[in-house]
Amino acid sequence: MQRLLAEPTTVATLNAEDAGTVMRFLTAYLAVTGRQVLLTGTARMRQRPIGVLVDALRELGATISYTEQDGYPPLQLQGRAPQPSGQNEPTELRVRGDISSQYISALMMVGPELPGGLRLRLIGKVGSRPYIRMTQSLMQHFGAQCRDLGEVVEVRPQPYQPADYTIESDWSAASYWYAMVALAPAGSSITLPGLRRHSWQGDQAIVAIMAQLGVATEFGEDGVTLTQQLAGGAVEQDFTDCPDLAQTVAVVAAATGVELVLTGLESLRIKETDRIAALQIELAKFGGAMLDEGEGRFRVPVASFAVQGQVVETYHDHRMAMAFAPLALRGPLTVLAPNVVRKSYPQFWKELVKAGFAITEQR
């Protein structure tokens, strides 16, 4: 990135590979800073929609064209029209709230670079609200003026300022260790460092969710201790604000015999894979199920679930690999394309070995 900033004209192509966050955030950054570059990704990334963000950036003066299919990467960014100086009023954009919060965060973060700032008017139901608030908090930490007013997000024109910041551990990654404690022998526990009680991460919701599925959380000075406990009864959970937890929670519920109703899964269809379809296929291999009850409701019923050497497809999705891996505590299984975890947790398999898992790589 330092080379990009120093010598933008030398960069012809940037490859976000399969990282949706990188694709969305980099698109906004490149557009607002007037870079001329081709931004591409993997075959799956070229199937993930980005039209809502591109349309918004075009309203801000960016020249962006699609090189293959309209509405999808790759993108050819060809600079940005000069913006009038002395503008006092923020540019107003209307953006759907039920799309990926990454679009909204991307626009928020470039708002301080606009002459009059930015006003985002969010239309309809807003999903993944904690991620919007996390973006706001981090922007403010680095000197930006940003207000989340519910249906409107306002960003004033003010340059970012350098500041010290300690990066918190990832609650999304922690969710897989919650799954391991839930599936481990009775009384199992583990301590995870670097996680905070007061966190802007939406996936901290795993604390309350897993309390119902058999894992208690104790916060310490520098992290949490997870301890297995008795699970409660049936669970109903809205994943609107924490969609990345859905796969992990569905697998744990199926394996532990807790009936689970899931809602708020709209965004799962356009992730690294169609995660709803992938869950339905893979859970069925173990005797489980994920039933579509209509109107956005899915149910994981109590079924005869057994781990007996099944082969798990990962569908180019890091979270499919990590959600199903804890089932090895109940029996042998094979996870295909294990390197998909490099996207968000490259040391995942090594950490499992440290925890006592026996892993054999098949060639």
Of 363, 338, 7, 344, nearest to 170 (Cα)?
A: 344
Q: Are 283 and 246 in contact (CB under 8 A)?
A: no
Q: What's at 29, amino acid-wise? A: Y
Alpha-carbon distance values, 144 to 20, 109, 163 (Å): 24, 9, 12
Helix (H, G, I), strand (E, B) or coil at 230: coil
> Active site residue: 244, 274, 292, 317, which one?
244
Q: Among this protein's residues, is 203 annotated catalytic?
A: no
Position 13, amino acid: T
Give the contacts of 136 (CB within 8 A, at least 6 positions apart).
108, 146, 147, 148, 153
As given in the structure block, the two tokens for residue 154 are 């306002």
Q: Are 148 and 105 a contacting pair, CB within 8 Å?
A: no
Strand partners of residue 190? 226
- Which residues are marked as active site? 244
